[in-house]
Amino acid sequence: MKNARNIKDQLYEQVARIGKVFSSPKRLELIELLCQGEKTVETLSRETSISVKLTSAHLRELRMAHLVETERQGKNIYYRLADKSVADLWVQIHTLAENRLIELQLALQKIATQPNDFVPSNRESLMKAARKGEVVVLDVRPTEEFLAAHLPFARSIPLEELRQRLSELPKDRSIVAYCRGPYCLMAKDAVELLRQEGYTAIHLRDGVAEWAVASSL
């Protein structure tokens, strides 16, 4: 019957609304930032180098798909992900992309800290070592993002303050630095700085969203 076709069209149409949100590079970057905690339009605009107006327009798309919520606090409007599963979906999509697209693998190799960054296989051993204090897990994101959520046992030193605060870190233990996720360059920069200064530093590709997904498997 023709009616069935009609109903099905409606169903797929609705699901595609969610897919559309994840089909634009700029929106993906906004989503990744929102995975770090709630943020104002201005902050999102600045961090992504997208104009405020265009940021607002993209956020509107996210809002209309009910993937983000807004809250007014004084002059500013804060955006946050409507549900943890939005972050999960971002992680699953970029993971699939990394597995399937050679082009992405090549682009990622360019920014990988040599020789090897931390890979999924040893998340458990990393936690064990962090618990015992054998390694220092270092969060180099801005303080607000650390406060919103961070990895277990992590210590916060934002990248901009790292050079001044080097003395807080031990030279006799490995330092595992992480930031917003595999597409964020802050941890890479931190590791380079630390190595120059004689520390043993390792780059963990995970951000909090990636870690959360991996931990729940």
Of 121, 80, 114, give the one whose Cα is nearest residue 217: 121
The site partner of 89 among DNA, a copy of itself, none (C-beta below 5 to 8 Å per kind) is a copy of itself
Least distance from a copy of itself to the Cβ atom of residue 129, Å: 28
Positions that interact with DNA (CB under 7 A): 20, 23-24, 26-27, 40-42, 45, 51-61, 70, 72, 74-77
Whether omega for the bond prior to residue 115 falls within 30 degrees of 0, making it cis, is: yes
CB contact burial 14-41 (16+ within 10 A = b; e otherwise): eeeeeeebbeeeebbbbbbbbbbbbbeb
Establish whether 179 is a catalytic residue.
Answer: yes
Query: In the complex, which residues of this chain contact a copy of itself (CB under 8 A)?
Result: 4-5, 7-26, 28-29, 49, 65-67, 82-83, 85-86, 88-89, 92-97, 99-104, 107-108, 110-111, 183, 185
Q: What is the spatial distance between Cα 164 and Cα 73, in angstroms, rounded to a whole number?
A: 33
| Residue 52's binding partner out of DNA, a copy of itself, none, with CB under 5 to 8 Å set by partner kind | DNA
**Cβ proximity to a copy of itself, 17 vs 165, nearer residue:** 17
**Dihedral over Cα of 79, 84, 89, 90: its sign:** positive
